Amino acid sequence: MPGAGVALRLDDVGAASKLHEVYGLTRVRVGTLAVPFPGNFLFLKYLPPIKRWGPYRELSAPEWEGVLAALEAAHARMTVAVTAGWVESDGGVTPFPRKFPAAAGVIREGVRRGLLEIANHGYTHCVLRDRLFRPRLFAGNREFHREFHDWLPAETHREHVARAQAILQEFFAVRVLTFVPPGNVFSRATLAAAVETGIRYVSCLDPGRVGRVDGLTWVTGGEVVAIHDRDLVVGGVDALRRLLGGRPAPPVTVSEVGQRLEGRAR
Ligand SMILES: [Zn+2]
């Protein structure tokens, strides 16, 4: 694939799981960094050994300005997987643009400048039912920080995918074509909902495990470098600069890679 870049994807923007998801060292997800990837980017090595995944804060507007500048300087683009609703402690859901207006404004500017693609990273990133998302005293709650379990009714999958699409498309004024299932968890009901709402690309680990879905293209594995907003909260925008500097070619967005794969499949 001459000149074909790899997609760069930043997950968990707007996801309140960064606040509510609490689990211990044994559960630290090495898995998220297990995608093919240069080893010097393992931010985990900068962390104190006992550090847990959360809680951590949302990226600020100035940090997003730095992200845009870094991408521009590297002639790179990036897909931002946004969770469209921020889950409050009482279970209420605030749309991302209302919860973080300054950061959302800079991200929208990045979209306008062609530096960022917005991807749907769910509506809540977690299970709202029975407040299962709340931290528990004697156990981790990680399971409930995945939104699209197959034990949830298909209607919940549809509602969450559609609500996220509506919020993101209205605020960012673009069609959202890429879906990134939170925590790599989804079912055929999730993908059916994705197709219904205009999604064309699904990006996560092994999205094809439930079989082919007409209208969807998987963008995964060696095609994607996936990082989390946490990597930039911990490592600063410098971490992104280092990553971009270490790439053989400037990264592109997931939908750009998806488009290329679609063309090849035809
Ligand atoms: Zn996530």
pLDDT tens per residue across span 229-244: 999 999 999 999 999 9
Asked if pLDDT for residue 34 goes beyond 50, the answer is: no
Q: How far is the CA of 13 from the centre of ligand 1 (A)?
A: 8
Give the C-alpha separation, 186 to 175, whole Å.
22
Q: How far is the CA of 263 from the centre of ligand 1 (A)?
A: 28
Q: How far is the CA of 11 from the centre of ligand 1 (A)?
A: 5
Q: How far is the CA of 82 from the centre of ligand 1 (A)?
A: 9
Asked if pLDDT for residue 204 goes beyond 70, the answer is: yes
Residues bordering ligand 1, an ion, CB closer than 5 Å? 11-12, 182
Does the predicted model carry a pTM greater than 0.95? no
Among 227, 111, 123, which Cα is nearest to 175's? 111
Give the C-alpha separation, 47 to 61, whole Å.
24
Q: How far is the CA of 125 from the centre of ligand 1 (A)?
A: 7
